[in-house]
Every structure is written in structure tokens, then in C-alpha cells.
Structure 1
Amino acid sequence: MRKNSIKNTRINGEVQRELSQLISREIKDPRIQPMTSVVAVDVAPDLKHAKVYISVLGDEQVQKNTLAGLRSAAPYMRGQLAKSINLRNTPELIFIIDQSIEYGVNMSHLINEVTKDLQEDGKESDDSMTE
């Protein structure tokens, strides 16, 4: 199975959906932040490993605690995946913090600051020309 095949894409989506439900409804670890979402899942073509990209709302310490909680719950989640998704192999789950949402918010904030500064500079130059 190729990495970007339709079958692999479907498996990625199914694993992402199941993990999202498991994390939000069944995992009761107090270290896991309630605002944790599964951003993407990348299952290897041989179905041995799955990289699970998660986004956590909170500071760096909250993210580390959530990651530790998810790693400790990984064997349980793998067992639940085996029951709910019929795959030849159930992948080993590797959790990775995804910073892309935070990065996007920061870039948007920076762009807004630059455009605000440009607009203020434009108004100042218009005012100086009218004098």
C-alpha cells in the first residue's frame, strides 16, 4: 500500500475519528487537558506505527502533561482501536504535539500588527500632505 493511497487516507481518517472519541469520552487521566484535539493521523503503509498529531490548548507545561498522559494511555487506546477498527495490524501510537495552530495564530497576530502600522503610517503621511 502506498503512503498516499485512497485506502491509507481512509484508514488515517478512521483512526483519527476513533482516537478523538477515545480521548474526549473514555480517557479519564487528569493530566490530559479537556481541550485536546487530534489534528491529524499518519498511519504507516505497513500499519505498524501511527503518528498522532495533537493540539492542546494551554501553556507548555499543560502540553507536556497531556503528552505524558496520552503516552501512558496509548496501550489502552491501541486495544480499543483493535476492537473498533478491523485492520490486519493495529498500529502502535506515537503522539506528537502539533504547533501549527499556535503558529498560525501568532502569524495572523503579526500580520494584523503590520497592517495596522501601515495604515497608521498612511494616515500620517496623508495628514502631512494636507498641511
Structure 2
Amino acid sequence: MVSSQRLGRSMGQVREISVSGVKRMRKNDRREAGAMDNSEGQTKRQRSARSLWNDLAKTNAQYAIWGDPRVEDEENDEAFSDSGRDEAMRLTSFVHPSSRVVDLGCGIGRVTRELAPFVGEIIGVDVSDEMIEEGK
């Protein structure tokens, strides 16, 4: 299961989607096509990744991405926010106000939030439901 997030912004619509149905469809399509199904191995990897990121989100989601997780200070907070803003600014040359954007691996929305005012719609998707919750 992959989680998605909804982040509120005055400009740019951010919406939540569920991609579990898409994954099921792909799995069924592979079976119908006679392809070997190694979903068990993928599921283990997915569970492992989800578990890792969920654990990191519980300790301190922001610092799992940026900074030293043992040091919570204003400088790290500012660097984290600035990095999201800087990345979003780099991406603005590739989008326009009516663009629909999907941020895969959005985490707590560091870039998603900052890019939202520049696009018509942005969807954040992450393997970690804990990161999604932290970003709301």
C-alpha cells in the first residue's frame, strides 16, 4: 500500500489519491499475460522500506531527510525549509500554473508544499503512511 497526502495551500490544488487499485490491476495484468509473478519478493522489499521510513517518521521525520537527527535546532529547521524551497524553485521552470504534478516519495512534503502555489494540482505519494501523517 502506498500512501498519499493532501496539503492545503491558498494557490495550487493538492489532492489525495489511492494507488492500491492501480497496483492490483498491474498484478492481475501480469498474471493474465503469463508473466512470472515475484510479488512476494517485492512485497517483502516494500514492507521493509515502509517499515524503515515509518520508523524514521516516528523518531523525527524532518531530520530523517535533512540534518542530524540528534540535533533539533533552529538552524536545522531553517536549512530543511530552505532546501524544500530551493528545490521547488528549480522545478518551477518545468511547470506552469495549470500543471498536474505527482511528487513520488514526497515524505512529509518538503518540496510538495513549496511547489503547490506554482501548479494547478499536486499529489504527494509516499510508501510511508507515517511520513504522510507527519506532513499533514
For Structure 1 versus Structure 2, the TM-score category normalised by the shorter chain is: under 0.3
User: Under a length normalisation based on structure 2, what TM-score does the superposition of the two structures give?
Assistant: 0.24
Q: Choose between structure 1 and 2: higher strand proportion.
A: 1
User: Under a length normalisation based on structure 1, what TM-score does the superposition of the two structures give?
Assistant: 0.25
Kindly indicate whether structure 1 or structure 2 has the higher relative contact order, using CA contacts under 8 Å at least 6 residues apart.
Answer: 2
